[in-house]
Structure 1
């Protein structure tokens, strides 16, 4: 039997602070909350998934309990480590309550047109950016995720799925395009969930720590999950033959324990990945090959677009920075203004 983990003094203090806030808020609103007499002692847990106002929490023994959340908690996401309390009267539906969320070492945020910034998952060590030959291979989308990875301090891994659909000529062309990213010390893998190509190499990167699959709809994230975890009942769908666009198969982020070790989070596919929540300066920092040239422009407020004496434009002209990546950078800057909702 797994040894029960004890809470630290810091964890107890956090629970007490949240409890005090809860009581004060409920006193003002007259809110109904859990009866303290129906709850057991606090214990640590891991959030496997979040569903509206509820979350699936895994206890120290590996059992999953669906919990509600205290009103004092502003955010709970997949990958969070939490302090929760078990109900003394299990119902098989909501059998516990989350008291506090531990400090996160990293969090992946996704801008939402209606809701602003939405956390996708927390405590991630490796961001696996999944693209595919179909529905379309977009290096601009890859660059957007790389900027997000650089700004959150999460190590990225570029994965091109459905490589079995490439003929020799197309594969040689793709390898030439990926060489640009390898020169920047980004690891790139060609995979096929159908044929198994490259899957053993992928497992070497994810056998420890917590990784997350991110990418557009239809790139085969769920198929890769099934290949990594045989028997997993993840729903997969073919790319729409009418629109050529991917169909959403994963609707919420979910954490899985891999058979060979490590944890993997499958996140919902998206059509686009906006960066309007970042400043232009942060996007510039997110292109790592730009960094050696920053601070060397003629003007301190250089926008790196048409300003005279721009060191980055000079580096592009001298082939020290690729034209392709610089064009992608300009496209991101343009989209940031166009994508940002007026109410934010």
Structure 2
């Protein structure tokens, strides 16, 4: 009982501290707005956020340190915003423009909060070790479909494959291309070994996800040869030093496109979804859903299941249906 009371007090103390911090930041933001020129609203892009501090890129490509009004909502990396200049190199964000997409996950309270906004592509990174998992890939693809972004399947460190393992990988993952998900093999060890990835990143705002150990961090360093320069500019603009290296950050790729690096979501998968969203996450199921003999078909052992008939006809890969069934069972067990 004593431990429970202590935990409650701790929660109340933390909340009180957070409320005081928010109030202080709101006071600072309001004070800064008094110094702003009236009606001078400008568009910008949130490059990174650290606590209540933002780095916003203006239309000229300059980086501006901004506070933000607390009543506009949760501002995240990738947001398009409206801001007002205050002093030289500083401003206040006063509005968030509509998001095209948002990557969200539950916080410690179970409340879903956005982590990055306006991404267009989820890059699923695998490697020969740990062994590639179709089930894990399908989880990421469900997330991509429900977020509404493209998905790219990438095998990193392909230089470690021998002929047998390369053939095995192609046999297991070739069907994804027929669904509409590109599958590429890359290696930073080969000259032009990253070219297939650079081509897919061009004109996209991408985020890399995948298991620990597949080389995401090394890949990001290889894709951003000017990483230290970009981080240095961010640190200077924010006044926060190297704290910016551990936050979700928007980077510009020299070969074209943008990359959002979010250490907290590199192992991201879908969160709390229902059966309808799970079905929608399997893109090739769309033409068969609603055509089963029974309206409540679970696509398991029911007669007249349109998905099973599609598998038998070679229209759906059998492993994809098995992975769907497994995910559905997990949903049932958690609801």
Tell me if the contact between 1:50 and 1:56 (Cα under 8 Å) persists in the aligned partners. yes
Separation in structure 2 between the aligned mates of residue 228 and residue 62 of structure 1, nearest angstrom: 20
The equivalent position to 2:143 in structure 1, one of 128, 148, 172, is 148
Q: Encode CA deviations 1:235-283: one digit per residue, 9 max, x unaligned.
A: xxxxxxxxxxxxxxx7432111111222111222558544342211111
CA shift for structure 1 position 185: 2.3
1:248-267 correspondence to structure 2 within 5 Å: 251-267=246-262
Separation in structure 1 between the aligned mates of residue 70 and residue 81 of structure 2, nearest angstrom: 15
Question: What is the root-mean-square deviation in Å for CA atoms of aligned residues?
Answer: 2.6
Task: Give the structure 2 partner of residue 48 of structure 1.
Answer: 47
Separation in structure 2 between the aligned mates of residue 110 and residue 169 of structure 1, nearest angstrom: 38
Tell me if the contact between 1:76 and 1:101 (Cα under 8 Å) persists in the aligned partners. yes
The equivalent position to 1:98 in structure 2, one of 93, 97, 103, is 93
Tell me if the contact between 1:55 and 1:66 (Cα under 8 Å) persists in the aligned partners. yes
Matched, 1:188 2:201: no
Distance 1:112 1:43, change over 3 A: same
Q: Secondary structure at the match of 1:170?
A: helix
Tell me if the contact between 2:209 and 2:267 (Cα under 8 Å) persists in the aligned partners. no
Separation in structure 1 between the aligned mates of residue 265 and residue 99 of structure 2, nearest angstrom: 24
Separation in structure 2 between the aligned mates of residue 65 and residue 221 of structure 1, nearest angstrom: 29
Distance 1:275 1:312, change over 3 A: same
Specify every segment of 5 or more residues in structure 2 that has no aligned partner in the other structure, as ranges.
1-22, 230-244
Task: Give the structure 1 partner of residue 19 of structure 2.
Answer: none
Tell me if the contact between 2:44 and 2:82 (Cα under 8 Å) persists in the aligned partners. yes
Task: Give the structure 2 partner of residue 82 of structure 1.
Answer: 81
Separation in structure 1 between the aligned mates of residue 269 and residue 170 of structure 2, nearest angstrom: 27
Distance 1:111 1:335, change over 3 A: farther
Q: Encode CA deviations 1:91-131: one digit per residue, 9 max, x unaligned.
A: xxxx3221101111222223456443232322222221212
Distance 1:286 1:206, change over 3 A: same
The equivalent position to 2:124 in structure 1, one of 129, 137, 149, is 129
* Count of matched residue pairs: 293
CA shift for structure 1 position 288: 1.6
Distance 1:34 1:269, change over 3 A: closer
Separation in structure 1 between the aligned mates of residue 179 and residue 269 of structure 2, nearest angstrom: 23
The equivalent position to 1:37 in structure 2, one of 34, 39, 56, is 34
What TM-score do you get using the length of structure 2 for normalisation?
A: 0.78
Q: Secondary structure at the match of 1:82?
A: strand
Distance 1:186 1:251, change over 3 A: same
Q: Secondary structure at the match of 2:41?
A: strand
The equivalent position to 1:322 in structure 2, one of 302, 306, 317, is 317
The equivalent position to 1:285 in structure 2, one of 280, 283, 288, is 280
Separation in structure 2 between the aligned mates of residue 271 and residue 62 of structure 1, nearest angstrom: 27
Q: Secondary structure at the match of 2:84?
A: strand
Tell me if the contact between 1:215 and 1:269 (Cα under 8 Å) persists in the aligned partners. no
Task: Choose 164-173 or 114-123, whichever is displaced more.
Answer: 114-123
Separation in structure 2 between the aligned mates of residue 75 and residue 214 of structure 1, nearest angstrom: 23
Q: Encode CA deviations 1:109-155: one digit per residue, 9 max, x unaligned.
A: 23456443232322222221212222342221211111122222211
Separation in structure 2 between the aligned mates of residue 268 and residue 137 of structure 1, nearest angstrom: 21
Tell me if the contact between 1:47 and 1:80 (Cα under 8 Å) persists in the aligned partners. yes
Distance 1:299 1:160, change over 3 A: same
Separation in structure 1 between the aligned mates of residue 193 and residue 331 of structure 2, nearest angstrom: 35
1:298-317 correspondence to structure 2 within 5 Å: 298-317=293-312
Tell me if the contact between 2:140 and 2:269 (Cα under 8 Å) persists in the aligned partners. no
Separation in structure 1 between the aligned mates of residue 170 and residue 264 of structure 2, nearest angstrom: 25
Task: Give the structure 2 partner of residue 9 of structure 1.
Answer: none
Q: Secondary structure at the match of 1:34?
A: helix
Specify every segment of 5 or more residues in structure 1 that has no aligned partner in the other structure, as ranges.
1-28, 235-249
Task: Give the structure 2 partner of residue 223 of structure 1.
Answer: 218
What TM-score do you get using the length of structure 1 for normalisation?
A: 0.77
